Every structure is written in structure tokens, then in C-alpha cells.
Chains A and B, each alone.
Chain A
Amino acid sequence: MPHLIAISGPSGSGKTTWISQFLKAQSTPQFYVCPGLGEISVDLARIGYRFPWVQVIPEAQLKAVLADLPEQATVYFEWGFHLDLGSSFLAGLPCQRIAVLPPDLAQSEWHAWADQVVVGNPVAAPANGHLPEIWCTPLTGQVFDPPSLDALLIELTGGAYGQVQRMKGIFEMPSGQAFYVDFVEVLPGMEYTELNIPPWLGGRPSRFSGIEVVGWGLEQEAIAQTLIDGCLSDAALAQYHQHYQALDPTLDPVEEPLRV
């Protein structure tokens, strides 16, 4: 019988990190679901890029996939902080419930819901139901001027556009590399991880990239404009690609996108 595991907790508590430790194993079929953000899910894309053997399930295909799971399958449902723990979908799911919670959180609706509590990052849990807002946007096809991206991430996580509790994104670079960037307000610094996917040097990438921001008082228009201002024009991108191909002529300019 397939093993279903639902994981929930506050933003930045470490849900995806907790799941990732199990996704390294390839002995049985594994599935990953992250409902709530439709097609614009950084986690869904990141898991797909990092663990290509894991089947990431877009929301639209969820019912069909669940109806036809292999016997040995393990399915991880990452249930975001903004989703209702009492939803009929979750209630009807015969699953193990894991809550990844900050160490000083003694009582919460997650405690009442979970079969098991895992201690995660010391993030602030939403107080009195005052949930932070989520802003996300796909950036597929956009390639960033690296110092501009650095500047805007410093501003964004430093509070220039509202108080940011959590930010994660996948960003394309003119070198053809893509980076996963992760910020949690209570943790030091920002984590940059190069994704292990082929460099994209043939025009604008058609594989997924995007950003999710969680916080309070987010100035969404200003964030969007700053992102746009940091993206390269067609001409600048072509110039970069030419430069990198000249440095390494073995690089294939046209890459097939990974399906996530």
C-alpha cells in the first residue's frame, strides 16, 4: 500500500529540508506534492531539479496520480502554512502527519493535527492567526544581471519592500547556470545553491524559474519592478551567451528543458 506523508509547519521551519533527506533514496518510487501555489511553485521545481528520480506532481494532475499509485510508492505532501489543516482533502487522506515546528512553540494547531512533531528552525509562528502574505511570480525566460540580482535580494531580505520572513527563488544566470536562493529571516545570511542542471546558453530558458516571498506589508509592485529592472535584454543576453560559448565551445547552445 502506498505510504502518504503530509508535512506542515510555519514558513521557513524546514519542511522541504526534512522531506529532502528521504528523497535521496531511490529504492522505491517517490512522489512530491506541494499544493497551494498552482504552477508557480519554487519547491516543486527545486525538488524536480535536485531529485530527478522523484515524480513531482502538479496540482492539476494530483487526483489522477493519487488514483493510480504504485504499491511501493511514498508520497510527500508539503502542506504550506497558508493552507487549512482542517481541509476536507487533507482530512480524507489516509496519511501520516508530520509537523515541523520551531523549538519554542509549545502549543499550536499543528500540535493538535500532527502524529509527530519534528523540531525545525526557530522561526516565528503566526501569532493569533495573523498570517503573513505570500507573493510569488514565475520568472521563466528571465535571465538576471548577477550584480543586480545580488542588490535586489539584499534589499528585499533587508526589508526595503516590506518585512520579509521567507524568500526562495530559482534564478537564471547569463552563464547558463541556475541558482536556488533561500532566505529565512531568523537564520544567518542567504543560501545560494547552483542547481545541477545543464547550462542554458540557447536564448531564453523555457524551464521554470520563479520567486516566492512571505512577509508583511509587501510592496508587490515595487518588488516586481525591481525584478524587471534587473533582467537582461535580448541583446545583452545574446552577448553573454556568445561570450560563454567562446570560452567553452563544447557547450551545447540548445538545451532541452527538464520537465517538472
Chain B
Amino acid sequence: MKLAVMSCIHGNYEALNAVLSDIDAQKADQIYCLGDLVGYGPHPNAVVEMIRSLDIPTCQGCWDEDIVEGLNACECSYPSQLAEKRGHLAHEWTNRAIHPEVREYLASLPMTLRQDNLCFVHGSPNSQHEYLLPSMDGFTALERVLSTEADVLFCGHTHVPYVRDLANGCLQVRVLHPDGVEREHQFSTPLKRIINVGSVGEPRHGRPNATYVLYDTDTAQVVLREVSYDYERTCADIIAKGLPLIFAWRLARGLEFAERADDPSHICQR
């Protein structure tokens, strides 16, 4: 079975359309979406309507949660004060633009989705806000996958796609028992894998193209797709809709609009 997994659309309707066309051409059997349907981009309602109309199983992203619950970012969200101001402007704009039924839909999204030995989350199984960076400590990465009881963990949130194999997983823990005796326990795990699918609507890999992933459940083959689209149209809409103009410049260069994580050792407090 061929799965298409996408994430982080961020109100970029042009990019979503291009990715859906590409998925169609690749003849995927099932699509999953890892959230962040809204935020930053100019068409949050249209994106949600499209996802709903196609009945794509979707989990809740951090922006989807923020639009429902309000902003409460951890310090890992923004690399600078300037970025934080821009992020807040985008949040205020989206909050005003979003339709009530769209907000209700975002509130109803689950944190995780499952299919057999696959688990789908936005950030990490702990939180939509936690970044699973590719350079994250191996123990922590393995713990995140094990906590889902799946073999493959699909995530987004970093906006930069990657595949990380956690082979020969071996966990050693030392437990101090109430009787004062310390005992060591060892667990070995079969191959686990983290697949980050990148971002459809707000790429951070230095190009404006959308990314998503095709996954073959029979062969475990991963194909990263990079899809070009008319990003200038999205840039024009960003400007026309009154979002911060700098978002258009940054989209054209594949740079983050505001949020970015740099520290792989940071544990999100959200």
C-alpha cells in the first residue's frame, strides 16, 4: 500500500493543490496529514475545506492548537525577538480570518493517528510543539518512538524532511529500588524509524518548493517528493491579505517565516 504523508500546509492553498496533484500522479492509496493546516499563510479556511472535502485523516498541529487554545509558546518556538513579533502578528491575523466551523474542526483533530505499525504525529508523541530534530540525542529519539508502540513514527513541525533509522536499539536503565539496591535492566528493540515529511506550505530547506513523503507499507521504501508550484501567487496573496510582507520574501527563499528550532537537546515545556 502506498501512503502519501504531508504536513505543515500553513494556509498555502497553491502549494496544497500542487502536492495533491502530485500525489494523484503518484497513485497513492491513502493520504495522511500531520497538521498545521493554518497559520502564516493567506488561505487557512480554503486549506481546511480542501482537507475536509477529501476526508484526509489529519492530526492536530501546533498552529491548529494555538488557534483553538490561544498562544502559549515555549522558548524553543522562536529564534529571535523579531521572529516572535512576526509570529504573533500571523497568529492574530489567522485568528481573525478563521471561520467558526474551521476552528471547531481544528479543535476536533486528534493528537496522533495510527495505522498498523505506523504512528503519525505533528511534532512528537509528547506534544505538537516538540521538535524531533535529526540531530536529537539517540536515546531521546528512540524513547519517543517506543512510547508510541509503533515501528515507524511520521512527524513534521521542523519543516525540513529527513529519515532517521534507529537500528540496534539498546536501552540500559539503572533502577534504585526502595530496598537501596540498584539493579540494571537492558532492553533491545528492533529497528525503529523516524520519518519527517517536511512542509507543504512553509518550507525551510532553502527553496520555495513543497515537500511530502511517499511510503510503501510493503517494502518500507521512503520517497521524498519535492514539488514546485506557483509560489509567487502565494506571495502575492500574502501581501494582498495584509500578512507581514516579509513572509513573501522568506517564502520565495525557503526560509522560516518566524518559528525555528536550533537546539536538539531542548525539551519543549509546552
Contacts and interface: CB of A to CB of B under 8 A. Distances in A.
A230 interface: yes
Contacts, number: 38
Contact of B82 (A148, A160, A236): A148
Interface residues of B, number: 11
A239 B214 CA distance: 48
Nearest to A152: B82
A155 interface: yes
Interface in B55-102: 79-83, 85-86
A152 B83 CA distance: 10
Interface residues of A, number: 16
Question: Which one of A148, A150, A158, A232 has the greatest number of beta carbons of chain B within 10 Å?
Answer: A148
A160 B81 contact: no
- Chain A interface SS verdict (over half): helix
B139 interface: no
A229 B88 CA distance: 12
Interface in A207-235: 222, 226, 229-230, 232
Interface in B235-257: 245-246, 249, 253
Contacts of B82: 145, 147-148, 151-152, 226, 229-230
A151 B83 contact: yes
B237 to A, nearest CB: 18
A155 to B, nearest CB: 7
Contacts of B83: 147-148, 151
B245 A147 contact: no
B249 A155 contact: yes
A236 B80 CA distance: 13
Contacts of A152: 82
Contacts of B80: 145, 147-148, 150-151, 230
B249 A160 contact: yes
A229 B85 contact: yes
A259 B102 CA distance: 60
7 contacts: A145-B82, A147-B79, A148-B81, A151-B83, A158-B253, A226-B82, A229-B86
